[in-house]
Amino acid sequence: MLSSSSQVSMSFMTGRLGLMHRIRKAVRVALSPAMLIVMAFTAISTFVAWHFAKTNERDHIHRMTRLATSAISADLNSDMEAWLLSQVRLARMWEFGEPTYAQWSAFAGLFLEHHPGCIALEWLDPKYEERWISRAPGQKIPLAGAAIREHLLTDAANSKAILLSNIVVSSTGQKQWITAVPIFQNGGFRGFVLGHFDVQRSLDTMLNDIEKLDFSVAVEEQGIEVFRLAGSNDENFVGWAQDTSVRLPGTIWQLRVWPKREVMSEMRSNLPAATLLFGAAAGLMLMIIAWITDFLRASQRRFSGILAISAEAVISMNADHKITLFNRAAESTFGYTAGEVLGQPMELLIPGRFQKVHKEHVAHFTHSDKNNLLMSDRRHVLGLCKDGSEFHMAASISKLEIAGETIFTIICSDVTEAVLAEAQLRKSHEELEIRVQERTAALVNMNQSLELEILEHQRAEEEIQELSRRMMRVQEEERRNLARELHDGATQNLVTLLLHMGRMSRDPSVISPAVLEEWMRLTEQSANELRTVSYLLHPPLLEELGLGLTLRSYVEGFAKRTGIQVTLSSQGDLDNMGFDIELAVFRIIQEALSNIHRHSGSRTATVRISCDGDVLRLQIADQGRGILEIHRSGVGLGSMRERARLLKGQLAIETGSTGTTIKIELPVSHLIRSHALAQAAPPPSGS
């Protein structure tokens, strides 16, 4: 018999051999053709399922990224168009007339308040020179774009449309763009409205509602990145980026969108990893179905999120015109909730008088070759709100065949404000046209009045020239008379006196009391005549004593020299009319008495002068032979006429065989006031 130790050893060896046998059996089973076929089938099925899942995942990510790119591009385009349109409306201020600085500041301030990224607004005149500038509150950042500014303004003036510059960098490193809107007023070019925008802040404002999508956004221009949305720093998924062009007036931006880590975790499916873990075909298919279902639900949520942030109302309906989709913007536009309209006919949102026409248009579009149609191409269509009110809207419709079913999608937006603004603008244009016509008629009348004034001015100039010529003749005649007086009087006496003194120097014995008396008479006569001539040239007492005393002194001296009895009568204040009018009155009286002495033959004369504060009246009369032909009168009467005319007065002459009367009226109220103001004015400094 075997010992106990031998039995234990035998048992151990038997157990070990059994384990090894079972392992070898398991390996054989695993490596059997049938199992290999099953494993191969499972591996192939798993790989096919994994590859299918990865392909769908990649396509889904690309599709979602493209959809997000399209939505972000549409949102950016819409915001840029709205900002540019606001600046165009600011430039249209000039269509209604020349704005004041207060109006400009008010409208520019509103623009800066509603466009946070705008740094400053400028008004440039047609010579590109700055007239007015309004800066955003607290903005002291230097304005960039001096190098491209003239080129941009030239292009905008030539195209007569708003243009956007390339993005430039200021001296402080800030990225900016410039918009130039040409201004036209009544068809005439009036300059530009120039806008300076901070790239980062402007695009942050426009794209702030995009951050909730968890997509990274960057903007490039000419291959250079000029903007990146806040939080778009994850470069691990930039390979999934989708690019699209954003075409703007004057430039093109490249928009790049790629998913962030958060949205990638939502869009990526765990199905490929699960497929690798589960080899069973049934389990694999079940997991695929489960994950595909979840995947589709996530896609639906993502798509619904994109529709929810869309600024446009999106409505879908089936072939029976029943509403199947109603996004958040549609709820805001029409006043219904999605639960109230889903399954309801589309006619619920259309005014009753247009429902029949709407059905006909949709039926025609259904059978046409077009896949999309702009419903508001020719005119705005009307929408019906829940409260029964109607509004103007711009709308487009598209159709899509899915599994034999036709789905219609309508995208619309409320444009009531734009329609009202257009109507108001049209009304303003009509009112402006009426004002232009009225202004034109007024200008025609003003032009006619101006032509009459020019003719009057020309006649006045001609009269002034004629007056100047007459005054020159009068002055020349006065000089000739003075020369004659000096030659015939004082000069002859002095020559005679000189001859007598020459004889005395040769023969002193000729001097006698009679000769000395003759010399003294000649000397006195010469002195009197020189004194008279000097008085005629300038009456020395007029400035010192005034007109009243000077006239009385002159009349008395005239009576003594000529033997003519002159009666002087005066009334009123004659000494506060100013030197110019007092001298003119004195010269007129002097000339009149001189004519009486030379030509009338009268031995008497009367001078009456009065002043009531408004009018000075002067009358000079004699009892001589009269004036035979007044229109051919000499220099004296001409001189009196011109002096009266210069003072805006009137001169009348009454003459006959019994004598001549000269009447003169001079308006003196304005002259007296001017003289009083001059007397009251303080003397100039330093006098």
The candidate with the shortest Cα–Cα distance to 268, out of 277, 257, 260, is 260
Q: Which residues contact 61 (CB under 8 A, 6 or more apart)?
A: 240, 259, 264, 267, 268
Lowest mean pLDDT among 395-404, 441-450, 672-681: 672-681
476 pLDDT more than 70: no
Please classify residue 321 by burial: count the beta carbons closer than 10 Å to its beta carbon, then call 0-12 exposed, 13-18 middle and 19+ buried: middle
575 pLDDT above the threshold of 50: yes
pLDDT value of residue 4? 46
pLDDT at 687: 35
**Three-class HEC string of 464-511:** HHHHHHHHHHHHHHHHHHHHHHHHHHHHHHHHHHHHHHHHHHHCHHHC
| Highest mean pLDDT of the ranges 45-49, 182-186, 635-639 | 182-186
Q: Is the pLDDT of residue 591 over 60?
A: yes
- Provide the H-helix boundaries in 162-208: 199-206
Over residues 366-392, the mean pLDDT reads 79
Angstrom CA distances, 525 to 402, 511, 556, 656, 668, stand at 138, 20, 18, 36, 40
Q: In this structure, are residues 207 and 76 in contact, taking their beta carbons and an 8 Å threshold? A: yes
Can you give the C-alpha Rg of the chain in angstroms?
Answer: 56
Counting residues of the chain whose pLDDT is more than 90, the rounded percentage is 6
Query: For residue 640, what are its two tokens?
Result: 């009196």
The residues, any chain, with a CB within 8 Å of residue 98's CB and separated by 6 or more, are 185
Q: Is 2's pLDDT higher than 50?
A: no
Q: Of the ranges 33-47, 100-114, 150-164, 411-425, which one carries the lowest mean pLDDT score?
A: 33-47
Whether 18 has a pLDDT exceeding 80, the answer reads: no
For the residues 360-364, what does the mean pLDDT come to?
Answer: 82
Q: What is the pLDDT at residue 604?
A: 93
Confidence of residue 392 (pLDDT cuts 50, 70, 90): confident
Angle at 325 between CA 319 and CA 329, to 5 degrees: 135
The mean pLDDT of 509-528, rounded to a whole number, is: 72
Q: Give the mean pLDDT of the chain.
A: 78
Beta bridge pairs of residue 177: 197
> Which domains can be identified in the chain, with CATH numbers?
53-68+206-307 (no CATH), 79-204 (3.30.450.20), 312-414 (3.30.450.20), 545-680 (3.30.565.10)
Whether the predicted pLDDT of 9 surpasses 60: no
Distance in angstroms (rounded) separating the CA atoms of residues 213 and 304: 11
182-188's contacts with Cβ under 8 Å and 24+ in sequence apart are 182/91, 182/156, 182/157, 183/91, 183/94, 183/123, 184/94, 184/95, 184/160, 185/94, 185/95, 185/98, 186/436
Q: What is the mean pLDDT of residues 441-458?
A: 87
Choose from 301-305, 510-514, 568-572, 643-647 the range with maximum mean pLDDT: 568-572
Residues 340-350 have a mean pLDDT of 88
Q: Give pLDDT tens digits for 292-343.
A: 555 556 556 666 666 666 778 888 888 888 888 888 888 888 989 988 888 9
- Looking at residue 5, what is its pLDDT? 47
With cut-offs at 50, 70 and 90, classify the pLDDT of residue 8: very low
pLDDT tens digits for 265-297? 777 766 666 666 765 555 455 445 545 555 556
pLDDT at 255 exceeding the cut of 80 = yes
Sign of CA dihedral 309, 311, 316, 322: positive
CB 169 within 8 A of CB 61: no
State mean pLDDT over 538-543: 61
Average pLDDT value for residue range 230-247: 82
pLDDT above 80 for 6: no
Task: Output the pLDDT for position 290.
Answer: 45
Percent of the chain with pLDDT over 70: 75
Average pLDDT, integer, range 612-630:
84
pLDDT at 23: 66
* Mean pLDDT (whole number) for 88-98: 83
Instruction: Specify the pLDDT at position 16.
Output: 59
Question: Helix, strand, coil: what percent of the chain each, to 5?
Answer: 60, 20, 20
pLDDT higher than threshold 90 for residue 19: no
